[in-house]
Amino acid sequence: MVDVDSFITEKVTEIEDAVGDENAVIALSGGVDSSTAAALAYEAIGDQLTAVYVDTGLMRKGETEQIRETFSYMDSLRIVDAQERFLDALGETTDPEEKRHIIGEQFIREFETVAKDVDADYLVQGTIYPDRIESEGTIKSHHNVGGLPEVVDFEGIVEPMRDLYKDEVREVARELDLDALVAERMPFPGPGLAVRIIGEITAEKLEVAREANHVVEEELEEYEPWQALAAVIGKATGVKGDNRVHGWVVSVRSVESRDGMTARAQEIDWETLQRIQSRITGSHENVARVVYDVTHKPPATIEYE
């Protein structure tokens, strides 16, 4: 990229020319790529663009609020509260791949509803250069929104950042005043907290997982992990106050990695681990135990499902 200002000017014109008088949609994931593509496209075509954020209920703590705040200037922003529909669709499903599939399908259904509603002819995507060259075997290979172009019949797809690297996207984001999103953020899987809950997804397990992930991200920031996370992995007996409880077991995991293909579990000091334990067991009456996962990848994966 030669220069951020001229890149933005050039892309704004390109998007205007591509979309013309038609309407366009973009799916916001909460990450920097889709957010930057949305801001860029909005600069070009204003409210002809509908940015769609589907609140699946599987997102990190505060994610929906952050989207609402960051894009409050877009009149056409659509935040779809689909939490109950995702929970219903997942029902009692326990198989990891089946859960991923249900989430992907439901996402497409939610997005398609809005795309039809606003009569969208164009799909804007935040695809960047590494997504295109690493389409196999890496993080984005199983990303939920990958199937959108095939499912919804668009006249065209606009990918303004298809030749940019991540650091260049961050430069553009900064220029577009998306400062809150520019800070290095850990990768977060498309199916969200669903891959951090073993077995059936319930509202209570989600509540525990969301808070525990928040605690872990906060406490382990200084270790600069590739990813730090918490998963609800089962139930075990504990004592809370004077009562024995059969409560959730939360596993904390923090790994360093270059590309997610292999990973090393990080060594965390005892005091920090104890603080995490205390915050997580204190966060919900039904959390009985916190354990720390010392397994590298391989043989484990980074996520739990």
Q: How many residues bind ligand XMP (CB under 6 A)?
A: 15
Distances (CA, A) of 219 to 45, 116, 222, 254, 266: 41, 43, 8, 11, 13
Spatial distance between the Cα atoms of 42 and 32, rounded to a whole number of angstroms: 15
Q: Judged by CB under 6 A, does residue 27 bind ligand XMP?
A: no
Question: Looking at 61, 109, 143, 235, which residue binds ligand XMP (CB under 6 A)?
Answer: 143
Q: Judged by CB under 6 A, does residue 302 bind ligand XMP?
A: yes
Q: 131 labelled as ligand-binding?
A: no
Question: Looking at 46, 187, 234, 282, which residue binds ligand XMP (CB under 6 A)?
Answer: 187
Residue number with CB closer to ligand XMP (7 or 86) = 86
| Site map 281..300 versus ligand XMP, x via CB under 6 A | ----------------x---
Given the rule CB under 6 A, which of 36-44, 46-54, 139-147, 205-213 is the region that contacts ligand XMP? 139-147
**DSSP letter at 161?**
T
Helix (H) or strand (E) holding 231: strand 227-240
The distance of closest approach from Cβ of residue 115 to ligand XMP in the complex, given in angstroms and rounded to an integer, is 21
Residue number with CB closer to ligand XMP (1 or 300) = 300
Residue number with CB closer to ligand XMP (82 or 195) = 195
Residue number with CB closer to ligand XMP (126 or 260) = 260
Helix (H) or strand (E) holding 27: strand 24-28
Q: 31 labelled as ligand-binding?
A: yes
Q: Judged by CB under 6 A, does residue 225 bind ligand XMP?
A: no
Radius of gyration of the chain (CA): 20
Q: 32 labelled as ligand-binding?
A: yes
Question: Looking at 9, 94, 237, 301, which residue binds ligand XMP (CB under 6 A)?
Answer: 301
Q: Judged by CB under 6 A, does residue 189 bind ligand XMP?
A: yes
Q: Judged by CB under 6 A, does residue 126 bind ligand XMP?
A: no
Q: 135 labelled as ligand-binding?
A: no
Question: Looking at 11, 100, 205, 289, which residue binds ligand XMP (CB under 6 A)?
Answer: 100
Residue number with CB closer to ligand XMP (7 or 107) = 107
Identity of the amino acid at 55: D
Q: 257 labelled as ligand-binding?
A: no
Residue number with CB closer to ligand XMP (142 or 214) = 142
Q: Where are the alpha helices (DSSP H) in the chain?
A: 4-19, 32-45, 63-70, 83-90, 96-117, 129-133, 148-151, 166-175, 179-182, 203-219, 270-283
Under 8 Å between Cβ of 140 and 129: no
| b/e sequence 208-218, b meaning 16+ C-beta within 10 Å | bbbbbbbbbbe
Under 8 Å between Cβ of 58 and 194: yes
Under 8 Å between Cβ of 25 and 124: yes
Annotated binding site for ATP: 29-35
